[in-house]
Amino acid sequence: MSSFGELIYTPERASGEAVSKIESHTPKIEAPDNVKADQPFEIKVSVGPHPNTVEHSIRRIEVYLYEDGRSFNPILLASATLTPVYTQPTVKITLALKKSGTLYAVEYCNLHGLWEARKKITVT
Ligand SMILES: [Fe+2]
């Protein structure tokens, strides 16, 4: 029996049929490499191009932070539930960090499961 984490696809771990879904399902994180402590900045997480129909769409995007030096991780930064057809799989959020860490974006496609991307962010 797999742990829940092992059920999340990543480009490195995808195999078999999932390899053909990497490009259309791995979230794209647009965020600065370096930010100043406590200074607000915007990040964007998007998925696709991907179908957006009632039968097949991106239903959820979540963004987490693994904060360096924190005893327990991750921190859930944002969670968006998306409605097929009407909502595009793109979220923009404004963050203000105190410490460096790694951003994780996880998206859920109703046909192709959970997919993860990550990006290091340094706070100076
Ligand atoms: Fe899909």
Whole-number Å distance, alpha carbon 46 to ligand 1 midpoint, is: 14
Whole-number Å distance, alpha carbon 53 to ligand 1 midpoint, is: 10
The C-alpha atoms of residue 118 and residue 76 are separated, in whole angstroms, by: 14
Q: 72-119 pLDDT, tens per residue?
A: 999 999 999 999 999 999 999 999 999 999 999 999 999 999 999 999
Amino acid identity at 62: E
Per-residue pLDDT, averaged over 17-21, amounts to 95
pLDDT band with cut points at 50, 70 and 90 for residue 123: very high
Torsion sign, CA atoms 85, 8, 91, 80: positive
CATH code for the domain of 57: 2.60.40.730
Whole-number Å distance, alpha carbon 35 to ligand 1 midpoint, is: 33
Taking a 5 Å cut-off on Cβ, the residues next to ion ligand 1 are 109, 111-112
Helix H, strand E, coil C: the string for 20-81 is HHHHHHCCEEECCCEECCCCCEEEEEECCCCCCCCCCCEEEEEEEEEECCCCCCCEEEEEEE
Q: 33-49 pLDDT, tens per residue?
A: 999 999 999 999 999 99
Whole-number Å distance, alpha carbon 83 to ligand 1 midpoint, is: 14
Residue 66's pLDDT is: 98
Mean pLDDT of the chain: 97
Count up the domains in the chain and report the number. Answer: 1
The C-alpha atoms of residue 30 and residue 18 are separated, in whole angstroms, by: 24
Residue 72's pLDDT is: 98
**Beta-ladder partners of 91:** 45
CB 32 within 8 A of CB 122: no
Residue showing tokens 């092992």: 6
Whole-number Å distance, alpha carbon 58 to ligand 1 midpoint, is: 7
Whole-number Å distance, alpha carbon 21 to ligand 1 midpoint, is: 7
Range of the domain at 89: 4-123
Q: CB under 8 Å to 30, separation ≥6 — which residues?
A: 43, 44, 45, 46
